[in-house]
Amino acid sequence: MSTERPSLDLRKTIGAIAGPVLAILIWFTPISGLEAEAHHLLAIMALVAIWWITEPVPIPVTSLLGPTLCVIVGVAPMGKAFENFANPMIFLFLGGFLLAKAMMVNGLDKRLAYGIMSMKWVGDSPRRIFLAIGLACIICSGWISNTATAAMMFPIALGLLETIRKMMAANGKIIDLKNYKYATGLMLMTAYACSIGGVFTPIGTPPNIMMLGFIDKLAPDAPTISFFQWMIWGFVAMVCYFAVAYLVLWRMFPADVKRIEGAHEFIREYANSLGKWTRAQKNTVIAFSVAVVLWVAPSVLSIVYGAKSEAMTAFDNHFPEGIAAMAGALLLFFLPGNERGVKTLKWKEGVEGIDWGTLLLFGGGLSMGALMYTTGLSQWIGNGIRDVMGGNPSELTFMIVFCMSALLLSELTSHTAAINLMGAIAIGTALSLGFSPIPVAVGVALSSSLGFMMPVSTPPNAIVYASGYVPITKMFRSGLIIDIIGILLITVPIVLLLVKAVMGI
């Protein structure tokens, strides 16, 4: 911790100075081909981009600063600059946050995770435990935040490792968990699986929903991506990423024993401590199921009645995905909880469970992206990137460049900040090149979830790194291998083949 602090402070100091300096230089430098509003917006974007990456102030503060400066310098009136803070996608995220909070408050997430870990097929096998803890992570993080999932699974992994240490000591073998391969592998599996699970659903991780918002605002003529359509390729990507992570980590960090005596009993104790299903847990399942049914229903109606049928149109008008999320979430405040007069989710618990910073970051990113589109800045940037790429690159080359860029940026900063920087540029460049913006938008979102090389890349990485069982060189090496395979052999083929097939483009 102490060795990282000076470098972090230095990064913030450099960013605090470099952002305004670069913005001023751009402001006073003549740039041909840009209208005044686009030129001024470019200067503001330079400041915002540097501050998103270096974080001299909290990222949500920077997200509010961008639209505020746009109003002050006359890029856009206040109503236009801030309208995207009420974007429907934000309410999809808001509903998802409330449902996730109810799952955590009422212990539904633990019941799910411990249920998987305590299954008979897992037993005392190190390899199956390795697999089961990864499965528990990806299933939970598809619906709740990867940070919360990692925080929940981290003590389970630590307890299993302590069981191994005691078993070894009883057999006369003393091991140091800080230099024990299996300990490193189990910690990394916990972190990586939490991030991998987020690609499954639009609400699994912020980049997914943010890219959907960018498509809606910057490419209004593009086909609408439904919740269920995202789940199709999200599931395939999740399974493929997980398989690669499992194989790479098990090969690099195998166990040196065939059985972990007492492991199954240890996990069973966790599961038994939850007791019987409570009323609040059952009602959380009901509220969650309502949201999921409403999310999936449009795809069913489309198959049965046709995409342009009256039934489909009526459902879309009355139950868009944001309303579906809010309907399920609001039920939590009406359904009874475990005690008389207490509801399934208390208002205070719900408010505390909302990641307001992410919502502000999302709103600020959408606002800046929309202004880049309306002022013509995104088209100008897209034309410049097109020229740099040779004027007429293949879609394969285009996809690889942007997916790799999103990945590298997410390794250095928050993946939500990376999406805010890359989203509008990727879509603008796709439109400039005559490509559909949907594949690159999905590719950038998926790629930003593959930040596996550094402790600062994702909160789950930081959580397991703090255990002391993960040398940074091991994290970098394993993360690099999974990142490269994930981008070239999974992400790019999925977006160029599966996403196009599902969307009919």
pLDDT tens string 365-391: 889 988 988 898 888 888 888 888 877
Q: Is residue 369 part of a domain?
A: no
φ and ψ at residue 343, rounded to 5 degrees? -90, 170
Instruction: Annotate 69-94 with three-state secondary structure.
Output: HHHHCCCCCHHHHHHHHHCHHHHHHH
Q: Is residue 27 part of a domain?
A: yes
Residue 349, pLDDT > 90, answer no
**Cα distance between residue 114 and residue 109, in whole Å:** 9
pLDDT tens string 266-297: 788 878 888 899 999 999 999 999 999 999 88
**Cα distance between residue 178 and residue 349, in whole Å:** 37
pLDDT tens string 294-323: 998 888 888 888 777 888 888 888 998 889
What 3-state DSSP class applies to 164? helix
Q: Is residue 370 part of a domain?
A: no
Q: What does the pLDDT read at residue 475?
A: 93
pLDDT bucket at 1, cuts 50 / 70 / 90? very low
What is the average pLDDT value for the chain, to the nearest integer? 88
The H or E element containing residue 248 is: helix 227-252
Tokens in use for 96? 């998802």
In which domain, by residue range, is 64 found? 1-75
**Cα distance between residue 325 and residue 323, in whole Å:** 5
pLDDT bucket at 4, cuts 50 / 70 / 90? very low
3-state helix, strand and coil shares in percent for the chain, rounded to the nearest 5: 75, 0, 25
Q: What does the pLDDT read at residue 171?
A: 66
**Which residue from 504, 380, 503 is spatially nearest to 432, judged by alpha carbons?**
380
Q: Is residue 311 part of a domain?
A: no
Tokens in use for 139? 């299933």
Q: What does the pLDDT read at residue 481?
A: 95
pLDDT tens string 142-201: 888 888 888 888 888 888 888 778 777 776 777 777 888 999 999 999 999 999 999 999
Q: What does the pLDDT read at residue 3?
A: 40
Q: Is residue 68 part of a domain?
A: yes
Range in 156-165, 216-225, 247-256 with the lowest mean pLDDT: 156-165
Q: Is residue 23 part of a domain?
A: yes
Q: Is residue 7 part of a domain?
A: yes
Say what the pTM is. Answer: 0.86
φ and ψ at residue 336, rounded to 5 degrees? -70, 150
Q: Name the percent of the chain lying above pLDDT 90.
A: 43
Q: How far is CA 254 from CA 83, 90, 186, 188, 430, in A?
A: 52, 43, 9, 12, 43
Q: Is residue 22 part of a domain?
A: yes
Our count of domains for the chain comes to: 1
pLDDT tens string 22-37: 999 999 999 988 899 9
